[in-house]
Amino acid sequence: MRSSAIHSAVRAACVGLLAAAVSTPAPAQSTTTQPASAPAATTEPATTAWGAGIPARLLASTQAAATEPATSPSATSQPSPTTTSGPATGPQGVDTPGLAIRNDDVVVFLGDDLVDTPRPTSTNSFPMLVETFMTARYPDLRARYINVGWSGDTVARALLRLDRDMLSHRPTAVVVCLGLNDPEYLPFAEERLAAYRQDLLNLLAKCREAGARVWLMSPPSVDEEKGRKVRVQRAGRPGMTDLQAVGYNSTLQRYAGAMKEAAEQTDSGFVDWFAESAAARARGRQIDPDFALTTDGLNPTDRTHAMAAAALLEAWGAKPIEVTLELTWASGDVKVASHLAPVNVARAEINAAGQRRIVVRNLPLP
């Protein structure tokens, strides 16, 4: 079985998985056809297509095993509605060794346009992808996820609303994604970077005082194109900017570096979305000169949000979802196992042409 391209793959691993974990999905059927002359046991590893720059290590993989299953584990000037979700299942949660998110954690996403997307509750934004994957992959982990993004925000403006919008939720874990708007879409200025650095340290100090663990996520790189102007927000007001003319990627790289330094100084986590996206763009443009990771030069595509989600999940120590199909050709027995438990939802058939076919209903992901 093979996964689709990046967007379909992420939705299968996140959106579809959440449905499997918390609801009763409509029956779906997957089939695999093998010739009748196949040997008694075969092993065929599945492939996972993540697209340029997307780590495959955090998406579901599927294996067909011979005898034993594997055992491994846009923006508006108004704030988005605060979105909150609760635990997936069970009256009691369970901590997972090696996973940074703990039972009963309150996880708050604080950010700008990258968090307060045009559709903040869409399953395509990185906070929603992260929440959905975590709920599906760790259904016994009781955690709440809250989005307090505000389009057009900067670190300085976030400090003004920190008590009201974030600390009031009593977070135990905070993801901060700020820095896209802080350079104000102007040529680089050292004084603006210095102010950003100090404001970021002040914000981190407040989070620490509240007892929250913090992960910083740099803004991604943008698609610079000569003569192309994009809509931006500067000091809370709309405007137009030629990102290439002001050298915005070079500026964002410096801000990402300042964020990394702040993370090191405060023992916070750090996810370099800028570096991941820049590397992915470079690889993509070797194949297609028009390869883009934004919809308009500035706002990330679904692919780019998936990249951020995968990087954050890895920083948290999240493990991939793995599903194993165990097939015994002689008897026609098929077992499906995931990280939760083996289940019998499959059968082997031999059609009139003598071909063996594996039929899987409601593939347990997870």
Q: pLDDT for 265-288, tens place per residue?
A: 999 999 999 999 999 999 999 999
For residues 111 and 157, state if they share a domain: yes
Tens-place pLDDT, residues 37-93: 333 333 333 333 333 344 444 444 333 333 333 333 333 344 544 555 543 333 355
For residues 13 and 151, state if they share a domain: no
Residue 256 tokens read as 């990402």
CATH number of domain containing 128: 3.40.50.1110
pLDDT in the model for residue 63: 39
User: Is 77 inside a domain boundary?
Assistant: no
30, 314, 316, 318, 319 from 98: Cα distances, Å? 33, 11, 8, 8, 9
For residues 41 and 89, state if they share a domain: no
Q: Which domain holds residue 345?
A: 6-71+323-361
pLDDT at 36 over 90: no
Identity of the highest mean pLDDT range in 5-19, 126-140, 159-173: 159-173
User: Is 104 inside a domain boundary?
Assistant: yes
User: Is 125 inside a domain boundary?
Assistant: yes
For residues 306 and 348, state if they share a domain: no
The mean of the pLDDT values for the chain is 77
pLDDT band for position 10 (cuts 50, 70, 90):
very low
Residue by residue, DSSP assigns 204-234 as: HHHHHHTT-EEEEEPPPP----TT-EEEEEE
Nearest to 125 by CA among 321, 308, 319, 311: 308
Counting Cβ atoms within 10 Å, is residue 72 exposed (0-12), middle (13-18) or buried (19+)?
exposed
Q: Is the dihedral of CA 283, 296, 235, 200 positive or negative?
A: negative
Tens-place pLDDT, residues 340-361: 666 666 677 767 777 777 777 6
For residues 239 and 197, state if they share a domain: yes
For residues 166 and 67, state if they share a domain: no
pLDDT at 184 over 80: yes
Residue with more model confidence, 340 or 177: 177
pLDDT in the model for residue 233: 83
User: Is 366 inside a domain boundary?
Assistant: no
CB contact at 8 A, 54 and 116? no
pLDDT in the model for residue 339: 74
The pLDDT of 15-40, averaged and rounded, is 37
Nearest to 121 by CA among 131, 112, 111: 131
d(CA 261, CA 43): 46
Specify the 3-state DSSP secondary structure of 269.
Answer: strand
User: Is 189 inside a domain boundary?
Assistant: yes
pLDDT at 245 over 90: yes
User: Is 92 inside a domain boundary?
Assistant: yes
Residue 25 tokens read as 């999905």
For residues 180 and 257, state if they share a domain: yes
pLDDT in the model for residue 148: 96
For residues 181 and 280, state if they share a domain: yes
**CA angle, corner 164, sides to 161 and 168, nearest 5?**
135
pLDDT in the model for residue 117: 73
Specify the pTM: 0.72
For residues 123 and 272, state if they share a domain: yes
For residues 194 and 341, state if they share a domain: no
Total number of domains in the chain = 2
CB contact at 8 A, 264 and 204? no
pLDDT at 106 over 60: yes
User: Is 352 inside a domain boundary?
Assistant: yes
Question: Which residues have CB under 8 Å from 49's CB, separation 6+?
Answer: 2, 3, 4, 5, 6, 9
For residues 307 and 337, state if they share a domain: no
Tens-place pLDDT, residues 126-165: 999 999 999 989 989 999 999 999 999 999 999 999 999 9
Residue with more model confidence, 84 or 226: 226
For residues 263 and 333, state if they share a domain: no
User: Is 76 inside a domain boundary?
Assistant: no
